[in-house]
Structure 1
Amino acid sequence: MLSKKTQYAFHALIYLAEHVDKGPVLISEIAEKKNISIKFLENILLELKNAGVLGSKKGKGGGYYLLKPPKEVMLARIIRLLDGPIALLPCVSLNYYEKCSNCDETICGLHEVMAKVRDATLKILENKSLKDIVHR
């Protein structure tokens, strides 16, 4: 399940994608239009900026903006940045692998099924971008 943080990040990123040709957008504008707490949104946007997804400009005409075109901002990357692993079990995670303490992966049927769930999920999320979820 996506955290509220990641859901709000996507709402903000969609707003920035919709306004990509208008220059930087103020946090207060995004917060008001998307009904997100400005303090919470500040932290989210700063995290995305530190990860190289967003840029910011200070002063008059300042705000946040996408560093790449929306078609190059992949959904899987944003989810991993904010929520961590996409896999439902740590033993099937590609980027955050941890051996489960209570099972043997070689005979665990759940491991096998969850690996397939991970693969199907990644097939979608790694091939869908911010452009694909922008409101039409």
Structure 2
Amino acid sequence: MLTNKGKYGLKAMVHLATVPEGRSVQAAEIAEANGIPKAFLDTILLELRKAGFVRSKKGPGGGFTLARPPSEIRMGYVVRTLDGPIAPLPCARRKTAQPCDDCQNADHCSVRILMQDVRDAMADVLDRTTLEQMRDRAASGIDVGDYVI
């Protein structure tokens, strides 16, 4: 499940993708434009910087910029950086699956099997979608249901 941290991180990345190349943006501007608590955004931007998605510059004219072109940033990597594994339940994680307390046989659990399919579908969409596509989709007003990746 996408947390607020993941959601705000995606909003911040899209905001940065709309900024003309060579210009940086203050965290306060991103926070205000997207309804994100500034202190929380500071933490998120630090994680995104450490992961190599954004750059920061201090001083006059400083702020945040993307570290790579939007066409080279896949949303799955951003979500995993901020939220960890993409899975609706811990038992459906690919590498760090944790059985549920009430599960009697994980190999035959219909809920876990379904949630693995959900995980795979979510990961497929996120891993195929670039920041550029996400930004352009929002700018054009195309509904996700009408968009073919």
Fold match, TM over 0.5?
A: yes
Q: Please give the range of the TM-score, normalised by the shorter of the 2 chains.
A: 0.7 to 0.9
Q: Which ranges of structure 1 fall in alignment gaps of 5 or more residues?
A: none
State the distance in 1 between where 2:13 and 2:21 align: 14
Q: 1:100 to 1:32 in 2, by over 3 A?
A: closer
Q: Deviations over 1:5-45 (max 9, x none)?
A: 22111111111000041422111221222232221111111
Cα RMSD of the aligned pairs, angstroms, is 1.7
Amino acid paired to 2:25: V
Aligned to 1:107: 108
State the distance in 2 between where 1:59 and 1:92 align: 45
Name the TM-score, length of structure 1 as normaliser.
Answer: 0.88
State the distance in 2 between where 1:37 and 1:116 align: 34
The answer as to whether partners of 1:20 and 1:66 remain within 8 angstroms in 2 is: no
1:123 and 2:114 aligned: no
Q: Deviations over 1:59-97 (max 9, x none)?
A: 111111111111221111111111222112223212432
Q: Deviations over 1:77-130 (max 9, x none)?
A: 111111222112223212432344433222222222122111111111110111
Name the TM-score, length of structure 2 as normaliser.
Answer: 0.81
Out of 116-125 and 85-94, give the one that drifted further. Answer: 85-94
Amino acid paired to 2:43: N
Aligned to 1:73: 73
| Aligned 1:14-29 pairs, distance under 5 A | 14-29=14-29
The answer as to whether partners of 1:74 and 1:130 remain within 8 angstroms in 2 is: yes
Aligned to 2:133: 132
SS of 2:106's equivalent?
coil
State the distance in 1 between where 2:95 and 2:20 align: 31
Tell me which stretches of 4 or more aligned residues in structure 1 moved more than 4 Å.
none
Amino acid paired to 1:70: P
Q: Which ranges of structure 2 fall in alignment gaps of 5 or more residues?
A: 140-149
SS of 2:105's equivalent?
coil
Give % identity: 38
Amino acid paired to 1:8: Y
